Structure 1
Amino acid sequence: MNRLAETVLPTRWGVFRMFAYTNKPEEMPHLALVHGDPEQLDPACVRVHSECMTGDVFGSVRCDCGEQLDAAMKEIAQHGGVLLYLRQEGRGIGLVNKMHAYNLQDQGLDTAAANTELGFGVDEREFGIAIAMLEDLGIKRIRLMTNNPEKLAAFDGSPVTVVERVPLQIPPRQENRFYLQTKQQVMGHLLDVLPNHNGKHH
């Protein structure tokens, strides 16, 4: 993992230091946004957030990604910590394939089945990148903001220890309730989403 650049980034949540990393020259750089002194944050509050252009940039409510990003940035700005922004759009299948998956969801498939229908795994992401970035920042113990047990499992046996899981549940909207139910029931995410009796929304 190579650190490419570092700069100061004032945001609407506060002032962060932003680091760019890559482990493959052809990839878009992964980003770490740090608030506070990483070596003094013990344990550091950390959010591992995979890129979601539709949610993070355009405010799509098909998912809860944009709202999770906003909540994580607020929390880190208040208490110190690190947001890792991994360029793994669409759970690792890329933006164009995610758009194809959306069309399949509109035909009745859930988010997991849509990915497999396109020939991908339910989740193609790899979280070793996040561990390498935290190591470079000198962070050894973290409070991980996640609902995803796969992210927790990724840290097992690694040099970075998760001392606490911090839930990051966003209230469901009509448009993403079925999506969140699928993440809970099919993908094992640690959520509490009540059934929607008014029909499916993807």
Structure 2
Amino acid sequence: MTESDGVFDVGTRTSGVERVVNVRLATKHGDFLAIGYRDLVRGDEQIALVYGDVGGEEALTRLHSECLTGDAFGSRHCECGDQLSAALKAIVAEGRGVLVYLRGHEGRGIGLLAKLEAMKLQSEGLDTVEANLALGLPADARDYTVAADVLHDLEVRSVRLLSNNPQKRDALLRHGVRVSEQVPLLMTPHKENLPYLLTKRDRMDHYLPHLEAVIQHT
């Protein structure tokens, strides 16, 4: 494996996903092609929502980590649900793009029950990184190999990545997907998730420049 201009040449790769089904999915944001995949390594069932022709270069792309509490229940302790909606809206407005919804990423990869335990520790004063570590778990256990495999299957050669997280960009580069641009996905913070966002910025190097204005007014 070699690296040139920040892009790794992975040579001939064996895909870790199997495409199982394509079906049209009408959503409140627009009509997508839902493509279901089986992760041949972990056994997880994965889904990509595709809008327009995404093959080739610079497809607007979101790698969205599963978050039941935020995506389904509208938890105000994170920004996940807001980011999911904003990403789908942006893809439709762009006219082409893909959202890879990554199951198995709950709680940055530690699982739902451990995430709830970590949330309890956060209510007692720990930040999100400290809480995971206090449980004997990694601060971030997510792996993006399956996301890269899905993008390769869709013949996406380069992406405009909707993310504030530099680790996602680096992971795609390692797996042979070029990132032509990292597009910020900045949500308006509120008092319940501000500590979570500050931890992302200060301890995990997420790009969240809009928090400074919020801090100055609190």
| TM-score bracket relative to the smaller structure | over 0.9
The aligned counterpart of 1:95 is: 112
Per-residue deviation at 1:58? 0.5
User: What amino acid sits opposite 1:143 in the alignment?
Assistant: R
Residue 191 (structure 2) pairs with residue 174 (structure 1):
yes
Identity of aligned residues (%): 43
RMSD: 1.7
The aligned counterpart of 2:168 is: 151
Residue 37 (structure 2) pairs with residue 21 (structure 1):
yes
The aligned counterpart of 2:139 is: 122
Alpha-carbon deviations, 1:138-173, whole Å to 9, x = none? 110110000001111112243210000100011111
Alpha-carbon deviations, 1:76-105, whole Å to 9, x = none? 111110000001111101111110000000
Which consecutive residues of structure 2, in runs of 5 or more, have no partner in the other structure?
1-16
User: What amino acid sits opposite 1:23 in the alignment?
Assistant: D
Per-residue deviation at 1:6? 1.4
Residue 80 (structure 2) pairs with residue 74 (structure 1):
no
The aligned counterpart of 1:33 is: 49
Per-residue deviation at 1:37? 1.4
Equivalent-residue separation in structure 1 for 2:177 and 2:40 (angstroms): 22
Equivalent-residue separation in structure 2 for 1:17 and 1:30 (angstroms): 14
Which consecutive residues of structure 1, in runs of 5 or more, have no partner in the other structure?
none
Structure 1 window deviating more from structure 2 (113-122 vs 188-197): it is 188-197
The aligned counterpart of 1:42 is: 57
Equivalent-residue separation in structure 2 for 1:5 and 1:175 (angstroms): 39
Aligned counterpart for 2:99 among listed residues 68, 83, 86: 83
Matched length:
198
User: What amino acid sits opposite 2:182 in the alignment?
Assistant: R
Q: Is the 8 A contact 1:38 1:139 kept in 2?
A: yes
Per-residue deviation at 1:136? 0.2
